[in-house]
Structure 1
Amino acid sequence: MCLTGLRKWCKKYNDSLYNENVTKKQAEEYLTLYDNEIKNRIEQIAEEDDDGWVTIAGGKKRGQFAPSRKESTIGKVQEKEEQRKKKKQLLNFYTFQIRETKKQQLAELRKKFELDKQRLQELKLKRTFKPF
């Protein structure tokens, strides 16, 4: 019997749907195979000596090009992240902010200049006559 029209489309739709029990069974089979494969890998890696000690052969776990987790590399990564954050921040976006920062910088420079003047005066006062 040749299906046409609505009956054909209904059959095509019903055929496209998967049975829940079948898919569940396939998933369970796959998981059991995967678990068995992992157990086999562990058994191959672990070798037992005559004394009963188990030695595990070393292997790269994080990938071939993964950075080492030393303090120096961690510090470098953190510095790069901080620089990225600084670039993202818009400091002095508005003109009034620019004016305020310039005023603050001038005030700091004036303070430093005054401190330097005081230091020079103190050095002049402390200076003693040493002919030889």
Structure 2
Amino acid sequence: MSSTLSDVQGFKVVGVKFNSESKGVHQLLWKQHTVRTQSQSKPADRTLFVLNVPPYCTEGSFTRMFSQYGKVRSVYFHKRPTSGPPPTSKYKLLAPVTRVIGFKVAYVVFNNASAIKKAMSAPADTVLEVSTKENKILTGVKKWQLQYNDTVVDRQALSDEIRRIMEEYDKHCEEEKAAGKEEPDEEGWVTVKSQKKKPQLEKVDELNMKKKKKKKRKQNLVNFYSFQNRQVKIDHLAQLRKKFEEDKKRISVMRAARKFRPY
């Protein structure tokens, strides 16, 4: 590894390869994890933030590789950097956590803060090996066989998890019943009772005054529409009379203009 790549923008650059026989060397970039808010799962003073992690790296291999700097408490893999806690599932069989596929980022949490200094002072020519003779990482057909076997769920374990879920549900229903909530019927419906707000107490005089004002406004509105309707009828009648007079004049003109007079 070139000495110019020993440090890039505050990140320590260290080589990593799959095993001792691998010729290609990959680069890992790491530095101390820094966040604005403290996290119990990723304490800033004891967590190493690692970038450019190859797909073949596992939590076990990372624990073994970084143990040379200090005792590793836990290793978390994420698809992208995040300050939040690692994803967990209460029900591992029915709702398992999705495995991170491809290149990723890692958070290595040590027991002591001194391990961070040791990791940051690693020599520039350091090359870590992911798979060793003592701790081999399966590849090829064996790897796919192992992943397939992991997808097969043990019946007894699944039955125990389902039983635990049902017990938690029954306990939740009993707590709601004790709190006065309605239980769902056979079809799963829950009757919801409306809770009407109690009317506020007002003085009798103020209440009567509001009623009188409301009645007066309504009466004014009725009178306005009645007057409007009367006015429309009067205008329409005036137009009819005007048209009648015009028709009478037109008929008189037509009679006077007739040339043929039989009598």
Q: TM-score normalised to the size of structure 2?
A: 0.19
**Structure (1/2) with the larger strand percentage:** 2
Q: TM-score normalised to the size of structure 1?
A: 0.33
Q: Which has the higher contact order (CA 8 A, sep 6+)?
A: 2
